[in-house]
Chains A and B, each alone.
Chain A
Amino acid sequence: MERQALQSNMSIKQHIHDLETAINDLKSNDLPIEDQVTLYQQTIKNAAQLHEKINKISESIQKTSPTKHEL
């Protein structure tokens, strides 16, 4: 459980990093326009995936009830 949560967080971190790289690439205008369009479409898709991932985590946190420490 703990490992899975950790991997999920790492994945979001990587996701954000990838998005930031893509944004920088788009800002730089170094790529051919066709590649920029492709990168933009991929980036939009990735952003949507990140949004979905965050929503899932948010829902998961809302559903989690506090542990009962019964002795």
Chain B
Amino acid sequence: MTPLRLTVSEFNTIFADIVHHQLQLNKLCISGEITQFNYYNDKQHLYLTLSHNNDHLQCVVYNQHLKKIPVIHNGDHCEVIGQCKFLKHKGQLIFSAVAIGLDGTGDKKTTRTRQLSKFNKDGKFKLKTESDIPTILENVCIITSNQSAAHHDIMSILTKSPHTFESILIPSSVQGLVAPRELQQALTIAESLSPDLICISRGGGQDHDFDCFFDDSLANHICHSSIPIVTGIGHKINTTLCCLCANQHFETPTAMIQWVSDHSMHPIHQASITLDSIKNQINQTLQNLTTTLTHIEDEFHQSIEKNLALLIQKSMHLNDQIVTLNPIEKLTNGFVYCKTDTEKPLKTVQQIKKNDTIYLTLRNGKASATIKHVNQTTYS
């Protein structure tokens, strides 16, 4: 059988005609749970994902119908009225809604609320804490999809940021039905390597892409792992059950690996700060010592100068005294040195009596004399 040959434009035109005119899909009411919604072009259009079990439908509400749309939240169950549209140029089928009627909370939301409540009640969110993450990291296992955007982001950060650890990739699916089992297998492999830390990560995506991270078994495995685990899953809006069970969770893979790198460098930075502090203290002490030493030196110098001045003064005083005591000078000035016949200097009149001989020394000779009269007179 010869295949019908068409261009993309021809196929899209035919398919649009089928959807718009032949299938009678112009007025439908579809019920489901809102699992994701976003406003685009400055709130001109609302895109939302409607889910039921594991099936999903992309819907759009264009600007002209937005006024009729109530305030919606993720997890709301609703009925959406509108028509199927096939976007010819994109080749994409989408449900264009004109009205939304809310009717309670969806099963997925209810189930997750119960799940989170049970884990919380069982204290499983407190089993692993940030303080259990070792300060020194040498080996880190990273569980993510090989060659994924998250993997590239992680490797990019590790290339740019200094860190202390070796990283080992344990590849695993991070979305889909097999992901919970593969993630648990990857976790078991990682644990067998006894790393200091395990990182579980994936990039952003549709809300249902993160379903695997709400798997009870995987979350319990994380809770009871003896090795610290951190997660960086999706964007900031994607906080999963696994995130809450981990020692620490981050908004994105980039934020996670950046934190791990910085955390590993923390002891080095601390040591560096301590060393700087010690260096500053030593410098300060040396500065103080230098100041003290200079002060002592100045004081010592002044003391020496002062003592030297005193010494010179003393020396001059001694000189003056010595000059006045020149015995020759005394004799020259008319004084006579007298001694008794016992060779003792004659100093007092009591030493002599009448007829004693005394011996005189003059400037230029000697003489002896006999005492004829002794008259005791006291000079005050």
Q: Measuring CB to CB, which residues of chain A are less than 8 angstroms from any residue of chain B?
A: 12, 16, 19-20, 22-23, 26-27, 29-33, 36-37, 40, 43-44, 47, 50-51, 54, 57-58, 61, 66-67, 69, 71
The residue of chain B having its C-beta at the shortest distance from the C-beta of A61 within the complex is B304
Count of CB-CB pairs between chains A and B under 8 Å: 66
Task: Flag if B327 contacts A33 (CB, 8 Å).
Answer: yes
- A31 to B: closest C-beta gap in Å: 8
> In this assembly, does B217 line the interface, its C-beta being within 8 Å of a C-beta of chain A?
no
**Contact status of A29 and B294, CB under 8 A, knowing A47-B322, A57-B308:** no
Q: Which residues of B contact A31 (CB under 8 A)?
A: 345
Task: Flag if B361 contacts A54 (CB, 8 Å).
Answer: no
Q: Which residues of A contact B325 (CB under 8 A)?
A: 23, 26-27, 40, 43
Taken together as a complex, chains A and B put the C-alpha atoms of A69 and B337 apart, in Å, by 64
**Contact status of A20 and B318, CB under 8 A, knowing A33-B337, A36-B327:** yes
The residue of chain A having its C-beta at the shortest distance from the C-beta of B328 within the complex is A37
Task: Flag if A71 contacts B286 (CB, 8 Å).
Answer: yes
Task: Flag if B319 contacts A47 (CB, 8 Å).
Answer: yes
Partner of B315, one of A29, A43, A54, A71: A54
B263-319 residues with Cβ-Cβ distance < 8 A to A are 286, 290, 293-294, 297, 301, 304-305, 308, 311-312, 314-315, 318-319
**Contact status of A54 and B311, CB under 8 A, knowing A40-B325, A40-B326, A61-B305:** yes
- A60 to B: closest C-beta gap in Å: 10
Task: Flag if A51 contacts B343 (CB, 8 Å).
Answer: no
The residue of chain B having its C-beta at the shortest distance from the C-beta of A29 within the complex is B345
Q: Measuring CB to CB, which residues of chain B are less than 8 angstroms from any residue of chain A?
A: 286, 290, 293-294, 297, 301, 304-305, 308, 311-312, 314-315, 318-319, 321-322, 325-328, 331, 337, 339, 343, 345, 347, 361
Task: Flag if B297 contacts A40 (CB, 8 Å).
Answer: no
Taken together as a complex, chains A and B put the C-alpha atoms of A57 and B305 apart, in Å, by 11
- A23 to B: closest C-beta gap in Å: 5
**Contact status of A37 and B308, CB under 8 A, knowing A19-B322, A30-B345, A66-B297:** no
Q: Which residues of B contact A33 (CB under 8 A)?
A: 327, 331, 337, 361
Q: Which residues of A contact B321 (CB under 8 A)?
A: 23
Task: Flag if B318 contacts A16 (CB, 8 Å).
Answer: yes
Task: Flag if B327 contacts A37 (CB, 8 Å).
Answer: yes
Task: Flag if A19 contacts B318 (CB, 8 Å).
Answer: yes
The residue of chain A having its C-beta at the shortest distance from the C-beta of B327 within the complex is A36
Query: Is the contact region of chain B dominated by helix, strand, or loop, or is it mixed?
Result: helix
Query: Is the contact region of chain A dominated by helix, strand, or loop, or is it mixed?
Result: helix
Q: Which residues of B contact A22 (CB under 8 A)?
A: 322
Partner of A32, one of B301, B311, B322, B339: B339
Q: Which residues of A contact B343 (CB under 8 A)?
A: 32
Q: Which residues of A contact B305 (CB under 8 A)?
A: 61
Taken together as a complex, chains A and B put the C-alpha atoms of A32 and B286 apart, in Å, by 65
Q: Which residues of B contact A47 (CB under 8 A)?
A: 315, 318-319, 322
The residue of chain B having its C-beta at the shortest distance from the C-beta of A19 within the complex is B318
Taken together as a complex, chains A and B put the C-alpha atoms of A41 and B199 apart, in Å, by 102
Q: Which residues of B contact A57 (CB under 8 A)?
A: 308, 311
Taken together as a complex, chains A and B put the C-alpha atoms of A24 and B294 apart, in Å, by 43
Task: Flag if A16 contacts B337 (CB, 8 Å).
Answer: no
Q: Which residues of A contact B328 (CB under 8 A)?
A: 37, 40
- A33 to B: closest C-beta gap in Å: 4
Q: Which residues of A contact B345 (CB under 8 A)?
A: 29-32
Taken together as a complex, chains A and B put the C-alpha atoms of A58 and B290 apart, in Å, by 27
Q: Which residues of B contact A19 (CB under 8 A)?
A: 318, 322
Taken together as a complex, chains A and B put the C-alpha atoms of A37 and B361 apart, in Å, by 12
